[in-house]
Amino acid sequence: MLSSKYVLIAALFAAGGAFAQSGDVSRSLSEVTGDVWRFDNDFHVSMVVLTEDGAVVTDPINTDAATWLENEVRERFGREVIYMLPSHSHGDHGAGGEVFADTATIIAHENYQKAVGQNFGPTAPADILFSDKLTLEHGGKTFELTYVGAGHGDDMVVTVVRPDNVAFVVDIVSPKRLPWRDSTTAIEGMIGQVEAVQELDFDILVPGHSINGTMEDVTETLAYLEELKSKVMAELAAGRSLEEIVSAVSMPGYEDWANYAEWLPLNVEGAVKALQ
């Protein structure tokens, strides 16, 4: 059976994506809409939006990924990166911003700034900070940036691109994939973040990991988190130990999601720690 990595790469070829390999890292650009492109760097995803006046990127991911992306945008599309809109400061998504710092204006949530250079590796500080919402008009596109509250990080921003109606949603919704390991130590905040995404209007969801999705995937993720919370709370109320709860809780409706067997015990453990 092919691994999910190779299935994804095959899907990108089928979609007409440009594919390149650097060392052991697989990188590709694939079209989402006419002007919105998905950038895959192994298992991390970012987004590029082509405008009349340059390109806008979201997460730099890391220095090597950002360097590859900057060169690809310049050589393939003849554009410079003018804006960088990072989703949040966690190092596996926000590192590498220094690559774009000379040409791009960086816009992020106000909590992003305090994390730059702290624990998550090198990146560039933001030029423009906002607290709740910010709308950027550039090159015939509108970028709606929304802070979704604290949960998975405290500086998480979702960006919706108009008129393409594409949303970039990182970590809190990964279509048909369980939440990362024990990230559910922030389960209550994550539920609030997913609910905030539900309030937005878009057609296509480009995630920080996994396949592209829609609002249906947001709804399914919320249902998963709420069911997980409910089951863990019931076990805690019954006085069971962490080991007993991890052994007892199953989520059979999600067995076909990626990483179910590996990450469900860790999801349960994270939720127990959050809810005790």
For residues 266 and 181, is the Cβ–Cβ distance under 8 A?
yes
DSSP assignment of 28-77, as one string? EEEESSSSEEEEEETTEEEEEEEETTEEEE---BSHHHHHHHHHHHHHHH
Question: For 16-25, 120-129, 191-200, 221-230, which range has the lowest pLDDT when averaged over its residues?
Answer: 16-25
Coil, helix or strand for 266?
Answer: helix
Return the pLDDT at 1: 34
Q: How far apart are the first and last CA of the chain?
A: 40
The domain segmentation of the chain, as residue ranges, is 1-170, 171-276
- Angstrom distance (rounded) from CA 69 to CA 263: 31
- Angstrom distance (rounded) from CA 158 to CA 148: 7
pLDDT above 80 (res 2):
no
For residue range 255-267, what is the model confidence (pLDDT) as tens digits? 999 999 999 999 9
For residues 157 and 135, is the Cβ–Cβ distance under 8 A?
no
In terms of Cβ atoms closer than 10 Å to its own Cβ (0-12, 13-18, 19+), residue 106 is: buried
For residue range 203-247, what is the model confidence (pLDDT) as tens digits? 999 999 999 999 999 999 999 999 999 999 999 999 999 999 999
For residue range 26-69, what is the model confidence (pLDDT) as tens digits? 999 999 999 999 999 999 999 999 999 999 999 999 999 999 99
H/E run at residue 91 = helix 91-94
For residues 55 and 73, is the Cβ–Cβ distance under 8 A?
yes
DSSP state of 159: E
Count other C-beta atoms under 10 Å from residue 135's C-beta. Answer: 12
For residues 197 and 158, is the Cβ–Cβ distance under 8 A?
yes
For residue range 160-190, what is the model confidence (pLDDT) as tens digits? 999 999 999 999 999 999 999 999 999 999 9
Residue type, 128: I
Fold of 1-170: Metallo-beta-lactamase; Chain A (3.60.15)
For residues 83 and 138, is the Cβ–Cβ distance under 8 A?
yes
Return the pLDDT at 69: 98
Q: What are phi and psi of 239, to 5 degrees?
A: 80, 20
